[in-house]
């Protein structure tokens, strides 16, 4: 039987290959090498939760009715009998209460969405802190960044579909921000909503965006993203035998097929577990959208909290200085534009273009395939932690009612605290992180020079007690010493030998200052000579 199966397989393979020359691809791909590290799985989590979204999303489309027509509910859920609601809301109730497994699928879909957005951010953080965005991967960083934005779009459009009170208020907030855009704001709002808020076309439009446009874009970008990963070959952490010119790891087939394939099912299993046991978005408790009621302590999905936090934090007026200006009879609401548009644009713009900024500021031009340990790039790591601090403060302010409750604080005091913290804490975080990284580098030097403490105390002939230090093994030592030790750039003199000021030297000075910002404080790796010398001392 075995040979029969083999023959059949060979036959099929031959059939396909003669028509596609797939053999070449298989030869090329099957044993491609992938390095291994837990942090490389974050991107996989994002990919797999997206697949779960596709699967559960297709289930939901079978029952969801994207319509804002108003009906009187007559389904099985008792407390909503006769209530006026949109068909979209009613069909969400029906999916939950009348389709066996429907509630499960809604919850799986929603949990998967939360995991999707979260894993993308963690994946991005991994890429950032290890310097994986450096040449030649800058373009892929930008693709990944776009995917992150698309994930927010996917989440927000989906969250709005059930047309419940909470999501409706979310849309109203968007409407308010859009209207604040100078000159064309009201027209953009009319364009989105098909007239006045809330209108009758928004849900169908969001539906098309949610199930077609956004997923198609995400799918295309993921394909491009993964293609570039293959083309570039994965980066690797430093270690013995790993250089910028090779990749060390295990082959795609069978090891990674089994590990990564298996991991998909684990991710799916985790999401199914969440969906089975943890209620999420119980829209039947909120009720259908109505512009009038709102309950206290309502929260958007977590990935929107940072904008909500910025909106909460921004004062309408500070110490008598108003942030809404009337100029020539026209109203300019900086209290909306700063948190709603300018802050996100700056934050995202910085993230999107950081790879180019760093390459330019440090003058680093080579292909980089071995990752940085975060401690070996203290300034970059500091910047990353500062941005995260900034983001986390916004998220906390976005849930300030919960935070205030938890710690028995006054809501207003908390907001005032955050208004200061948003400027101060990121700077503090940067400085502390940078110090911490330099400290770790010094610790590495210590370890290389003097080895690990063993806890074993021995007595010398001369009566002195000393602790035995065990030298690092070759592999551990290599990791601790193998990093680039870059000195700040040197500026050419501002005036040439004839005393004429050199063109562009001011700009050079600025670049030099940036280079100093990155590399002024640094700890160089131990050299063999230093190690030799340290050993002589003992």
Partner 1 sequence: MSQSDQSQETTEPDSFQDPGVPYHRPRLSDKDPKAAKRAERQVAAMFGISILGTVIAIWAYFGLHDMGEDVESIQQTNTVIGIGVMLAMFGIGWGAIHWAKTLMRDHEMVEERHELRSSDESRAGAIQNLKDGVEDSGIGASKEGVPRRGLLKGSLITAMLVAPLALLVPQIGNMGGDWNVGLLRHTMWKKGTRLARDPDGTPIKASDVTIGSAFHVIPEGLNEMGHGKLEAKAKAIVLMVRLDPRDLTIQPGREDWSFDGIVAYSKVCTHVGCPVALYEQQTHHLLCPCHQSTFDVSDGAKVVFGPAKRPLPQLPIAVDDEGYIIAKSDFDEPVGPSYWDRLKTPDGDLTPEEGSH
Rounded to a whole number of angstroms, the minimum distance from the CB of residue 226 to ligand HEM is 16
Q: How far is the CB of 183 from partner 1 (least distance, A)?
A: 6
How far apart CA 494 and CA 509 sit, in angstroms, is 9
Q: How many residues bind partner 1 (CB under 8 A)?
A: 134
d(CA 288, CA 324): 33
CB nearer ligand HEM, residue 34 or residue 289: 289
Reading the block at residue 2, the tokens are 């075995």
Under DSSP, is residue 228 helix (H, G, I), strand (E, B) or coil? helix
Q: Considering only residues 239, 344, 363, 471, which one is a binding residue for partner 1 as defined by CB under 8 A?
A: 239
389, 309 contact by CB (below 8 A): no
Binding mask 107-146 for partner 1 (x = CB under 8 A): xx---------------------------x----------
- Distance in Å, CB of 336 to partner 1, minimum: 7
Stretch that binds partner 1, among 151-159, 247-255, 386-394, 501-509 (CB under 8 A): 247-255
- Cβ–Cβ < 8 Å for 37, 234: no
313 binds partner 1 (CB under 8 A): yes
Residues making contact with ligand HEM (CB under 6 A): 50, 53-54, 57-58, 60-61, 64, 92, 95, 106, 109-110, 113, 116, 151, 154-155, 158-159, 161-162, 210-211, 214-215, 218, 281
Tell which one of 131, 144, 158, 198 touches partner 1 (CB under 8 A).
198
Q: Would you count residue 24 as binding partner 1 (CB under 8 A)? A: no
Nearest to 281 by CA among 306, 301, 265: 301
Of residues 33 and 55, the one with the C-beta less far from ligand HEM: 55
Residue of 314, 387, 396, 447 interacting with partner 1 (CB under 8 A): 314
- The helix (run of H) or strand (run of E) holding residue 321 is strand 321-322
CB atoms within 10 A of CB 221: 15
3 state DSSP class of 408: coil
Nearer Cβ to ligand HEM (193/284): 284
Sign for the pseudo-dihedral over CA of 62, 64, 65, 71? positive
Cβ-based nearer residue to partner 1, 190 or 351:
190
Q: In angstroms, give the least distance from the CB of 312 to ligand HEM.
A: 22
Count CB neighbours of 97 within 10 A: 15
Of 223, 241, 238, give the one whose Cα is nearest residue 372. Answer: 238
For partner 1, which stretch binds (CB under 8 A), given 4-12, 17-25, 176-184, 374-382?
Answer: 176-184
As a whole number of Å, the CA-based R_g of the chain is: 29
Q: Which does 54 bind (CB under 5 to 8 A by kind): partner 1, ligand HEM, none?
A: ligand HEM
Near partner 1 by CB under 8 A: residue from 44, 51, 146, 199 = 199
Residue 189 near residue 179 (C-beta atoms within 8 A):
yes
Q: Dihedral (C-alpha) 405, 406, 407, 409: value to the nearest 10 degrees?
A: -10
Query: Which residues from 290-309 bind partner 1, rule CB under 8 A?
Result: 290-298, 308
- Which residues have a Cβ under 8 Å from the Cβ of 146 and sit 6 or more positions away? 221
Residue among 174, 240, 233, 228 nearest 205 (CA): 174
Examine residue 202 and tell whether it contacts partner 1 (CB under 8 A): no
Residue 399's binding partner out of partner 1, ligand HEM, none, with CB under 5 to 8 Å set by partner kind: none
The yes or no reply on residue 475 touching partner 1 (CB under 8 A) is yes
155 binds, among ligand HEM, partner 1, none (CB under 5 to 8 A by kind): ligand HEM
- Tell me which of partner 1, ligand HEM, none is bound by residue 517, counting a contact when its beta carbon lies within the kind-specific cut-off of 5 to 8 angstroms: none
Give dist(CA 136, CA 480) in Å, integer: 25
The listed partner (partner 1, ligand HEM, none) that binds 109, CB under 5 to 8 Å by sort, is ligand HEM
Residues 6+ apart with CB under 8 A from 527: 481
Task: State the Cα–Cα distance between residues 373 and 380, nearest whole angstrom.
Answer: 11
Give 191's contacts (C-beta < 8 A, 6+ positions apart).
Answer: none
Query: Whole-number minimum distance, CB 284 to ligand HEM, in Å?
Result: 11
User: C-beta of 352: minimal distance to partner 1 in Å?
Assistant: 22
| Longest Cα–Cα distance in the chain | 95
Instruction: Based on the shown chain and the rule CB under 8 A, indicate whether residue 322 belongs to the binding site for partner 1.
Output: yes
The structure tokens listed for 321 are 């200085």
Contact between 196 and partner 1 by CB under 8 A: the answer reads yes
- Closest CB to ligand HEM among residues 92, 433: 92
Distance CA 292, CA 312 (A): 21
Specify the DSSP element, H or E, that contains 34. Answer: strand 33-34
Query: Is residue 279 within the footprint of partner 1 (CB under 8 A)?
Result: yes
Partner interacting with residue 60 (select from partner 1, ligand HEM, none; CB below 5-8 Å by kind) = ligand HEM
Contact 341, 203 (CB under 8 A): no
3 state SS of 207: helix
Q: Binding pattern to partner 1, positions 438-457, x when CB under 8 A?
A: -------x------------
Residue closer to partner 1 (CB basis): 18 or 473: 473
Q: Which does 323 bind (CB under 5 to 8 A by kind): ligand HEM, partner 1, none?
A: partner 1
Binder of partner 1 out of 9, 216, 402, 411 (CB under 8 A): 411
Residue 56 or 362: which CB sits closer to partner 1? 56
Phi and psi at 234, nearest 5°, equal -65, 150
User: Quick one: what does residue 113 bind among ligand HEM, partner 1, none, with the CB cut-off 5 to 8 Å set by partner type?
Assistant: ligand HEM
């Amino acid at each position: 039987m075995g040979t029969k199966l083999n023959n059949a397989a060979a036959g099929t393979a031959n059939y396909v290959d003669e028509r596609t020359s797939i053999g070449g691809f298989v030869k090329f791909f099957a044993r491609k090498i992938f390095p291994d590290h837990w942090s490389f799985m974050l991107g996989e989590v994002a990919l797999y939760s997206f697949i779960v979204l596709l699967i559960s999303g297709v289930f939901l489309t079978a029952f969801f009715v994207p319509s804002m027509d108003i009906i009187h509910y007559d389904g099985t859920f008792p407390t909503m009998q006769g209530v006026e609601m949109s068909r979209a809301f009613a069909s969400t109730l029906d999916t939950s209460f009348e389709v066996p497994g429907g509630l499960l699928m809604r919850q799986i879909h929603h949990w998967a969405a939360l995991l999707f957005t979260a894993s993308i951010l963690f994946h991005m953080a991994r890429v950032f802190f290890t310097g994986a965005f450096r040449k030649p991967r800058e373009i892929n960083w930008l693709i990944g960044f776009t995917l992150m934005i698309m994930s927010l779009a996917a989440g927000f459009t989906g969250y709005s579909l059930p047309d419940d009170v909470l999501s409706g208020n979310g849309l109203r907030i968007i409407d308010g921000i859009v209207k604040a855009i100078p000159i064309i704001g009201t027209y953009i709002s009319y364009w989105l909503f098909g007239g006045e808020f809330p209108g009758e076309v928004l849900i169908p439009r969001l539906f098309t965006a949610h199930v077609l446009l956004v997923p198609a874009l995400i799918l295309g970008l993921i394909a491009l993203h993964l293609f570039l990963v293959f083309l570039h070959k994965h980066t690797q952490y430093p270690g013995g035998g790993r250089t910028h010119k090779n990749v060390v790891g295990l082959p795609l087939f069978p090891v990674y097929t089994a590990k990564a394939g298996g991991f998909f099912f684990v991710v799916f299993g985790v999401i199914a577990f969440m969906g089975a046991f943890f209620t999420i978005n119980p829209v039947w408790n909120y009720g259908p959208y109505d512009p009038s009621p709102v309950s206290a302590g309502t929260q958007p999905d977590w990935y929107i909290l940072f904008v909500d936090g910025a909106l909460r934090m921004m004062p309408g007026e500070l110490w008598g200085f108003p942030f809404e200006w009337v100029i020539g009879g026209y109203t300019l609401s900086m209290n909306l534009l700063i948190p709603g548009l300018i802050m996100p644009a700056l934050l995202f713009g910085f993230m999107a273009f950081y790879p180019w900024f760093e390459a330019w500021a440090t003058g680093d031009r080579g292909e980089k395939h071995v990752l940085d340990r975060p401690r070996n790039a203290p300034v970059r790591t500091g910047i990353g932690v500062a941005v995260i601090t900034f983001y986390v403060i916004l998220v906390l302010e976005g849930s300030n009612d919960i935070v205030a409750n938890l710690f028995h604080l006054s809501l207003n005091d908390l907001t005032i605290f955050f208004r200061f913290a948003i400027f101060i804490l990121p700077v503090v975080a940067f400085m502390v992180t940078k110090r911490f990284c330099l400290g770790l580098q010094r610790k590495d030097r210590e370890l290389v020079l003097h080895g690990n403490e063993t806890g074993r105390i021995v007595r010398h002939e001369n009566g002195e007690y000393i602790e035995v230090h065990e030298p690092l093994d070759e592999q551990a030592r290599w990791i601790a010493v193998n990093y680039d030790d870059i000195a700040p750039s040197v500026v050419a003199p501002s005036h040439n030998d004839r005393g004429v000021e050199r063109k562009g030297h001011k700009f050079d000075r600025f670049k030099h200052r940036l280079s100093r910002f990155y590399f002024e404080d640094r700890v160089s790796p131990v050299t063999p000579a230093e190690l030799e010398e340290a050993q002589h001392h003992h």
